[in-house]
Amino acid sequence: ISRGMATSSAMRSSINHVTIVGGGLMGSGIAQVAAQSGHKVTLVDVKEDIIKKAEESIAASLKRVAKKVHKDDPGKAEEFLKTILANISYSVDLQKSVKSTDLVVEAIVENMKAKHTLFTSIDSVAPEHTVFASNTSSLSIGEIASVSKRKDRFGGLHFFNPVPVMKLLEVIKIDETSEETYQKLMNWGKAIGKTCITCKDTPGFVVNRLLVPQFIEAIRMLERGWHEKFPEVELFKPVETLNKLVSEGKLGRKTGEGFYKYNTPK
């Protein structure tokens, strides 16, 4: 990533300074990708020793990136590393950190009470325009946002582990999320190099909603033995939607219509 590219993408997203709360596995990754794309980042956690660990893991990860990007030029690799590291500052003072920030991404422990306490404590401190987002995997964004007075400037940004590698970003809208906020979140997601998809605030959003039942089914398969047939199992029963489509001759591309309409002739 060149510096020029990084700076212009930061400008496009209209979010320049980001505060990441929680310097664990996810928060460190989010801080890294934001810094790599030219954003100014403050990473906040509760204790200095945790901050120190986050700082070390980000530096180690960025060193690997620098070596890859400038594999034939150690001087350039060093400069690349220095520039990106300079974009990140670290703090244990949340209130101070959000005083002039454009976006807060919360990546703390998966606990509703902890998230409520956090967002309550920054609501009246952060500037009016600041957008709040949670990286929760399993909690409702609407319920997290319920304690906030800025529900129109609230949404979900659900990253995947490891953040610097995984391309997908789920952008979650709650009923109150304004169009402007949603666009800001989408633009920022794109500016940090992610492929963004829009999700409703439903359990598991899109990926985990599909993935978790699959995991569980794999375990069930293991439990009941791979080769036995269980026709009474709900999962194998015919699906009404599919039956209807087939009975209407909507067989997909070959008939011009299935779940989607195709332009190809029937």
- The least distance separating ligand NAI from the CB of residue 165, rounded to whole angstroms, comes to 12
Q: Which residue, 121 or 183, has its beta carbon nearer to ligand NAI? A: 121
- The least distance separating ligand NAI from the CB of residue 22, rounded to whole angstroms, comes to 3
Q: What is the dihedral of CA 244, 249, 253, 255, to 10 degrees?
A: -160
CA pseudo-torsion sign 20, 22, 25, 28? positive
> Side-chain half-sphere of 136: how many Cα atoms within 13 Å?
26
Place of tokens 């919360």: 106
How many residues belong to the chain? 266
Comparing CA positions, the residue from 155, 145, 138 lying closest to residue 15 is: 155
Structural element, H or E, at residue 181: helix 179-191
Binding site for ligand NAI (CB under 6 A): 21-27, 44-46, 50, 107-110, 114, 118, 135-137, 158-161
Q: Which residue, 66 or 163, has its beta carbon nearer to ligand NAI? A: 163
Q: Which residue, 52 or 76, has its beta carbon nearer to ligand NAI? A: 52
SS3 127: coil
Q: Has 158 been annotated as catalytic?
A: yes
Q: Which residue, 66 or 94, has its beta carbon nearer to ligand NAI? A: 94
Looking at 79, 100, 208, 257, which residue is catalytic?
A: 208
Q: Has 79 been annotated as catalytic?
A: no
- The least distance separating ligand NAI from the CB of residue 24, rounded to whole angstroms, comes to 2
Cα(172)–Cα(105) distance, integer angstroms? 13
Cα(185)–Cα(198) distance, integer angstroms? 10
CA pseudo-torsion sign 192, 131, 27, 89? positive
Cα(104)–Cα(173) distance, integer angstroms? 16
Q: Has 87 been annotated as catalytic?
A: no
The residue sitting closest to ligand NAI, measured at its beta carbon, is: 24
Q: Has 28 been annotated as catalytic?
A: no
Q: Which residue, 150 or 158, has its beta carbon nearer to ligand NAI? A: 158
| Residue 150, both tokens | 């800025």
Question: How do beta strands 131-134 and 103-106 pair?
Answer: parallel
- Give me the active site residues, please: 137, 158, 170, 208
